[in-house]
Amino acid sequence: MSKIHLTINGLPVEADKGMTIVDAAKIVNITIPTLCHLNIHDIKMVNRTASCRVCLVEVKGRRNLAPACATEVVEGMEVRTDTLRAVKARRTMVELLLSDHPTDCLVCERNQNCQLQKIAAELGIRKIKYEGVRSNHTKDSTSDALYRNPDKCIKCRRCETMCNEVQTVGIYSAVQKGFETIVSPAFGLPMVDTQCVYCGQCTQVCPTAALTEVSHIAKVWEVLADEDLHVVVQTAPSIRVTLGEKYDMPPGEDVTGKMVAALRRLGFDKVFDTNFGADVTIVEEANEFIERLKNGGRMPILTSCCPSWVKFIEHQFPNLIDIPSSCKSPHMILGVLSKTYYAEKYNIDPKKIIMVSIMPCIAKKYEVTREELTNNGLRNVDHVITTRELIGMLSEAGIDFKNLPDEEFDNPLGISTGAADIFGTTGGVIEAALRTAYEWMTDRELENVDFHSVRGMDGLKEASVDINGMEVKIGVAHGLGNARELLKAIEKGQAHYHAIEIMACPGGCIDGGGQPYHMGDIELVKARAAGLYKIDKGKTLRKSHTNPDVIKLYKEYLGEIGGHRAHELLHTHFKVREKI
């Protein structure tokens, strides 16, 4: 790649051709403030709308100030970020944004974690300089997962780029002009009436609280306070490698023991592990895969753990709706088992059991409302709170997380294998399924359980596994834009696989819409994935079908794998949804 030579604040810089001033400045440790710009190379997202104008700089030879996020470097360019003119212009832009922004910072969801607030503080802005008309738009709380507050939108359009170009769902666009501009769904439709899949990636890139999850914290506190209820909680695989970030622990550090201890201190009666549900999912999915393979069933089989991806196929690819596995997602499986198997085993009235899931994404909030995810008139899961919401609850309770002793999950829904841990990262579900399917199809022990070919951050991955002389072809996609590409190829007969894993979020659940904000730091996301693989590597049991409590579950309660009772409790169905 050819190099461009320029100076920034008098410092010589050698930058790649096509690089913007903002990125070139980082080479010499110069930070240019910006609110609309976001460049995440690994997921191919570049937002260069230059709408906020907070990154204005002076370029020698140019009369007007240049937006550093959208101006590419050229040979011999001389840039100044520190002139009075540039600094005053940036301050003015932020002051204008603040003039049309609510001043409820003390009670805002993003207080102390808001990029607008942070930049205003860094620029020393202590009062609203400009007074005038303020936006007053309708708030949207129609969905069970995503809350929109357009009054806090600064029109950076990061959400639009993420939704339309990366995820290809196509919900957001800027409408109207000038002061009346608003980023919203087409025709101003409420979110519940759109084809939004609630992946929550828009909330991950939003710099303010214009887009947030619908909070279930108050509901959880209420049930915890009700002594007539038996309130149990479960934790998704990825939570244990992201929760510690809030407490100054390294990204990817395993905080499972402290997490369990913290949940007990919040008052939950039992602390179960979603990983147990993941092991059950694999047992059922692997069985379903083998049955289809032997009996000429519809191929490829697609994993169905991610509710965002499931809703995506229901809207966008209705003719493929019969190929995903019919298995419920792991937390739904654990939910139904808590209200059946666990309830019967310990003689607890299922109607008094409240299942709370700690999840990495906001789509799980939507998932629990699906009518088909009920048994005996009871929801499989009652409430979902995200990693961020759990952090909020721990703060409310004054729990010193970092200094908690390690504690173990409760049984019988607490033991899990390493295969379940890797569910939280792209490639993990299919790798876990391969470990079990291989042994069942060959009647031989799989000595090397690591399938490195399905790992990593490539958006689309392929692998071939020799099972009894059969070349089993695997496809892996993460991020819905990559999923669309893969599914289109299947529709056209251009791609032929036996099994496919799809996760809606780039990187998988470790980058879910409810995880701690990372604002484009993909190295942090990679560290989270590495943390899960480390947990898996350190376990004695690394194959789902070897989980002794899963074996006991089938022997005592479910009967045959894939049998009538297992299908009744652990499987679901999907439905075609309108494409808007």
pLDDT of residue 176: 86
Across all residues in the chain, what is the average pLDDT?
A: 95
Q: How far is 311 from 196, CA to CA, in rounded Å?
A: 8
Q: Are both 205 and 260 inside the same structural domain?
A: no
Burial grade of 9 (CB within 10 A; 0-12, 13-18, 19 or more)? middle
Q: How many CB atoms lie within 10 A of CB 561?
A: 17
pLDDT of residue 131: 86
Q: What are 8-30's pLDDT values in tens digits? A: 999 999 999 999 999 999 999 99
In the set 288, 314, 431, 439, the catalytic residue is 288
Q: Are both 177 and 236 inside the same structural domain?
A: no
Give phi and psi for 528, each to the nearest 5: -65, -45
- Would you place residue 39 in the very low, low, confident or very high pLDDT band (cuts 50, 70, 90)? confident
Q: Is 325 a catalytic residue?
A: yes
Mean pLDDT, range 444-470, rounded to an integer: 93
- Domain CATH code at residue 249: 3.40.50.1780
Q: Are both 300 and 187 inside the same structural domain?
A: no
| 110 domain residue, yes or no | no
| 421 domain residue, yes or no | yes
Q: How far is 5 from 319, CA to CA, in rounded Å?
A: 53
In the set 14, 291, 372, 523, the catalytic residue is 372
| 106 domain residue, yes or no | no
Q: Is 439 a catalytic residue?
A: no
| 534 domain residue, yes or no | yes
- 285 residue type, one letter: E
pLDDT of residue 123: 93
Q: How far is 292 from 274, CA to CA, in rounded Å?
A: 27
- 201 residue type, one letter: Q
Mean pLDDT, range 58-62, rounded to an integer: 97
Residue 301 predicted with pLDDT over 90: yes
How many structural domains are present in the chain? 3
Look at residues 83, 99, 115 and tell me which one is the last residue of a structural domain: 99
Q: Are 401 and 242 in contact (CB under 8 A)?
A: no
pLDDT of residue 145: 97
Which residues are registered as beta bridge partners of 170?
Answer: none
Mean pLDDT, range 480-503, rounded to an integer: 95
Q: Are both 88 and 183 inside the same structural domain?
A: no
Mean pLDDT, range 561-575, rounded to an integer: 97
Q: Are both 257 and 305 inside the same structural domain?
A: yes
* Three-state SS at 143: coil
Look at residues 213, 235, 257 and tell me which one is the last residue of a structural domain: 213
Q: Give the C-alpha distances (Å, rounded to integers) separating 131 from 98, 108, 120.
A: 10, 21, 17
Q: Are 383 and 231 in contact (CB under 8 A)?
A: no
Q: Are both 183 and 297 inside the same structural domain?
A: no
Q: Of 176-180, 449-453, 475-479, give the lowest mean pLDDT range.
A: 176-180
Tokens 């009062």 — which residue?
127
Q: What are 255-272's pLDDT values in tens digits? A: 999 999 999 999 999 999
Give phi and psi for 359, each to the nearest 5: -125, 155
In the set 109, 253, 285, 389, the catalytic residue is 285
**Total residue length of the chain:** 580
Structure tokens at 351: 């109607």
| 278 domain residue, yes or no | yes
Mean pLDDT, range 287-299, rounded to an integer: 93
Q: What are 317-357's pLDDT values in tens digits? A: 999 999 999 999 999 999 999 999 999 999 999 999 999 99
Q: How far is 434 from 430, CA to CA, in rounded Å?
A: 6
Structure tokens at 250: 């390294």
Q: Is 372 a catalytic residue?
A: yes
- 322 residue type, one letter: D
In the set 152, 339, 364, 365, the catalytic residue is 364
Q: How far is 338 from 570, CA to CA, in rounded Å?
A: 12
Q: Are both 272 and 205 inside the same structural domain?
A: no
Q: How many CB atoms lie within 10 A of CB 481?
A: 20
Burial letters 458-472, b for 16+ CB under 10 A, else e: ebebebebebeeeeb
Contacts of 348 (CB under 8 A, 6+ apart): 230, 342
Q: Is 364 a catalytic residue?
A: yes
Contacts of 568 (CB under 8 A, 6+ apart): 375
In the set 206, 305, 327, 505, the catalytic residue is 305
Q: Are both 189 and 246 inside the same structural domain?
A: no
Q: Are both 321 and 410 inside the same structural domain?
A: yes
pLDDT of residue 1: 63
Q: Are both 416 and 506 inside the same structural domain?
A: yes
Residue 179 predicted with pLDDT over 90: no
pLDDT of residue 579: 77
Torsion of CA 309, 504, 393, 367, to 10 degrees: 0
pLDDT of residue 554: 98
Residue 43 predicted with pLDDT over 90: no
Q: Are 363 and 373 in contact (CB under 8 A)?
A: no
Q: How far is 525 from 384, CA to CA, in rounded Å?
A: 22
Which residues are registered as beta bridge partners of 383?
Answer: 356
Q: How many CB atoms lie within 10 A of CB 240?
A: 28
Dihedral sign from CA coordinates of 564, 416, 275, 109: positive
Residue 201 predicted with pLDDT over 90: yes
Q: Is 314 a catalytic residue?
A: no
Q: How far is 572 from 568, CA to CA, in rounded Å?
A: 8
Contacts of 191 (CB under 8 A, 6+ apart): 140, 142, 143, 146, 148, 171, 185
Look at residues 156, 180, 213 and tell me which one is the last residue of a structural domain: 213
Per-residue three-class SS string for 288-340: HHHHHHHHCCCCCEECCCCHHHHHHHHHHCHHHCCCECCECCHHHHHHHHHCC
Of the candidates 485, 529, 483, which has an alpha carbon nearest to the alpha carbon of residue 509?
A: 529
Contacts of 375 (CB under 8 A, 6+ apart): 336, 339, 340, 568, 569
Mean pLDDT, range 177-194, rounded to an integer: 91
Tokens 């202590």 — which residue?
126
Q: What are 388-414's pLDDT values in tens digits? A: 999 999 999 999 999 999 999 999 999
In the set 304, 325, 357, 416, the catalytic residue is 325
| 552 domain residue, yes or no | yes
Torsion of CA 428, 433, 436, 442, to 10 degrees: -120
Q: Are both 176 and 191 inside the same structural domain?
A: yes
| 575 domain residue, yes or no | no
Q: What are 77-93's pLDDT values in tens digits? A: 999 999 999 999 999 99
Whether residue 300 has a cis bond before it, omega within 30° of 0: yes
Rounded to a whole number, what is the distance in angstroms from the first to the last CA of the chain? 42
Q: Are 374 and 251 in contact (CB under 8 A)?
A: no
Q: Are 475 and 300 in contact (CB under 8 A)?
A: yes
Q: Is 285 a catalytic residue?
A: yes
In the set 109, 213, 245, 367, the catalytic residue is 367
Vertex 30: Cα angle to 28 and 36 (nearest 5): 125
Q: How far is 262 from 280, CA to CA, in rounded Å?
A: 26
Structure tokens at 323: 């190929």
Q: Is 75 a catalytic residue?
A: no
**H or E element at residue 259:** helix 256-266
- Domain CATH code at residue 7: 3.10.20.740
The domain in which residue 533 lies consists of 218-570
Q: Give the C-alpha distances (Å, rounded to integers) separating 448 from 1, 116, 290, 519, 532.
A: 39, 49, 21, 36, 18
In the set 311, 509, 526, 543, the catalytic residue is 509
Q: How far is 300 from 407, CA to CA, in rounded Å?
A: 41
- 245 residue type, one letter: E
| 166 domain residue, yes or no | yes
Q: Is 509 a catalytic residue?
A: yes
Mean pLDDT, range 553-570, rounded to an integer: 97
Which residues are registered as beta bridge partners of 6?
Answer: 13
Q: Are both 537 and 515 inside the same structural domain?
A: yes
- Domain CATH code at residue 151: 3.30.70.20
Q: How far is 84 from 10, CA to CA, in rounded Å?
A: 16
Residue 520 predicted with pLDDT over 90: no
Residue 285 predicted with pLDDT over 90: yes
Tell me which DSSP letter residue 555 carries.
Answer: I
Structure tokens at 119: 């930049």
Q: What are 420-438's pLDDT values in tens digits? A: 999 999 999 999 999 999 9
Q: Strands (DSSP E) along 401-486, which ranges? A: 460-467, 470-478
